Amino acid sequence: MPHPLTALGLLAGLTLLSPAALAALDFQPCADRSDFAELADSQCARVSMPADHAQAGGEQIELFLRRFPAPGRARGTVWLVAGGPGESGAMFYPLRRQLAQAFPGYDLIIPDHRGTGFSTRLCPTEEAVHSPGGAALEGAEWASCYGSLAQAPARLQQFSLAQAADDLAALLARDASTGPRYLYAVSYGTQLSLRMLASHRPRLDGLMLDSLVPRQDDAAHDLSMRSHDVDRAGWQWLADCAADPACGQAAGPKLGERYRAWLASQDAAASDSLRLQLGSLLDGPEPGRDLIRSLNGLLQGDSTALQTAQAAQAARLAPFLAYPQSPPALPLTQLISASENDLQPTRSLDEVRRSEAELGFLSPLPRILARHRGNSYARSELALALPLQLPPTLLLHGSHDPKTSYAGAVSHLQLLRTRGPVSLHRVQGGSHFLLWHASTCSVPALRDFLASPHAARAQRADSECRQP
């Protein structure tokens, strides 16, 4: 049975880096290039980094990077920063088609964050690819890993968001490629990238933020409030359906009212199970359609539509789980989530349940955080710092994002605009991770941004696209 945590859905300049750390990245053909067709042209590099960037001469860790070279002569380089926390760069590998369309003619460089993928892990023995559970923890590995971490507070600090942000700055400093250089980040990757820019000034010609995280002091949208964000997205879809004659007719009369009445008639256990299942659909391939069909069927005693939607969602996720480094690094997920993004760390499980009692759609995250208070570190004083300066920046965000709420993103956006030109591309009906879930809207916006990111370094007009 999987562990419950599997449900978890940067100093001004680089003057402190040692000369050795500035050596150019050395990419060679990857050892696994024949294992997967989409990796056939990939090149890999392994880079030593200080375990603690404040002690450059001390213990070292290793970071893994993969590059997909552009066909022919590259127009420039795009660095891809994965989400999570706990996700490796492998989350981008199945998206080669979308990446080629969004960034045509660019070399793509994808690092595994420290603690993820083929980079040094929090528990190197238990999370080794060739251990009993592979990169995932299994059986006795849970106790062994977490037990060792409880005795090593210094190691926890080594795997902080701040250290990962310094990694990213150091890697960019080692990139000797010529031509324009851009950075694309998704979800947690946006938080990591902005933290890096709060203390470093890397050479970047543009920044692309997909599904922007809320500010780390935004108590309305932190991880402890994730169910409330999911709930807002769910009711948005029901409201959209009610306003659309065709959808409303297919869904039957007053679907929202019927659902509220059903919830009021159920005991807590039955209600929680359904609310969690419906909440999970909101991060799927066709969230609105799947939610309406599933809910309408369930209210008539038929779970066929829900089962069909869940099967389609699992099939769409399967390619992202195919690589040895695919399993999320759950020790890192728990560590960074608890240390950086849970603004109610003392809230009990009963308090969480009471706060969610009136919601129609749930995320498992708040209850997982309440059940599994574990390792944490003292977060950096830069946690709330804004970037020193932003290059031309494009923010892609879905109006119905259940994970990084649209309201939280817009609030964050207003502050970011005090640091540089930031334009918003709003995807109406968009969910989370728009390069994947809404490529028909996101790919043209990304491609257009690379074609003219500077625009005289003035504020570009905001834009909108409706997800088909």
Residue 456: band (very low, low, confident or very high) from pLDDT cuts 50, 70, 90: very low
The string of pLDDT tens digits covering residues 176-189 is: 988 999 999 999 99
Q: For the domain 4-219+382-466, what is the CATH code?
A: 3.40.50.1820
Q: Please say if the pLDDT value at position 13 is more than 80.
A: no
The residue-averaged pLDDT of 260-274 equals 87
pLDDT value at 21 more than 50: no
- Is the per-residue pLDDT at 371 higher than 90? no
Q: What is the pLDDT of residue 23?
A: 72
pLDDT at site 19: 40
Quick check: 250 pLDDT over 90? no
Please tell me the pTM assigned to this model: 0.93
Beta carbons within 10 angstroms of residue 148's beta carbon = 15
pLDDT above 90 (res 269) = no
pLDDT at residue 20 is higher than 70: no
Q: Judge whether residue 355 has pLDDT over 70.
A: yes
Please determine, for residue 96, whether its predicted confidence score (pLDDT) is greater than 90. Answer: yes
What does the pLDDT read at residue 92?
97
SS (H, E, C) the chain: CCCHHHHCCCCCCCCCCCHHHHCCCCCEECCCCCCCHHHCCCEEEEEEEECCCCCCCCCEEEEEEEEECCCCCCCEEEEEECCCCCCCHHHHHHHHHHHHHHCCCEEEEEECCCCCCCCCCCCCCCCCCCCCCCCCCCCCHHHHHHHHHHCCHHHHHHCCHHHHHHHHHHHHHHCCCCCCEEEEEECHHHHHHHHHHCCCCCCCCEEEEECCCCCCCCCCCCHHHHHHHHHHHHHHHHHHHHHCHHHHHHHCCCHHHHHHHHHHHCCHHHHHHHHHHHHHHCCCCCHHHHHHHHHHHHHCCCCHHHHHHHHHHHHHHHHHHCCCCCCCCHHHHHHHHHHHCCCCCCCCHHHHHHHCCCCCCCCCHHHHHHHCCCCCCCCCCCCCCCCCCCCCEEEEEECCCCCCCHHHHHHHHHHHCCCCCEEEEEEECCCCCHHHHCHHHHHHHHHHHHHCCCHHHCCCCCEEEECC
**Can you give the pLDDT at residue 344?**
92
Model pLDDT for residues 102-150, shown as the tens digit of each residue: 999 999 999 999 999 999 999 999 999 889 888 999 999 999 999 999 8
pLDDT higher than 90, residue 252: no
pLDDT of residue 22 exceeding 70: no
How do residues 57-95 score in pLDDT, each as one tens digit? 889 999 999 999 999 999 999 999 999 999 999 999 999
pLDDT of residue 133: 86
On the question of pLDDT at 201 being above 70, the answer is yes
Judge whether 287 and 232 are in contact, CB under 8 Å. Answer: no
Mean pLDDT over 404-423 rounds to: 96
8: pLDDT strictly greater than 50? no
Residue 324: pLDDT above 60?
yes
Tell me the average pLDDT of the chain: 91
Check: CB of residue 438 under 8 Å from CB of residue 427: yes
| pLDDT at position 1 over 80 | no
pLDDT in tens, 150-170: 888 999 999 999 999 999 999
Alpha carbon separation from 239 to 12, 96, 274, 314 (Å, rounded): 47, 35, 19, 27
pLDDT at 45 over 50: yes
Q: Give Dmax (Cα) for the chain.
A: 68
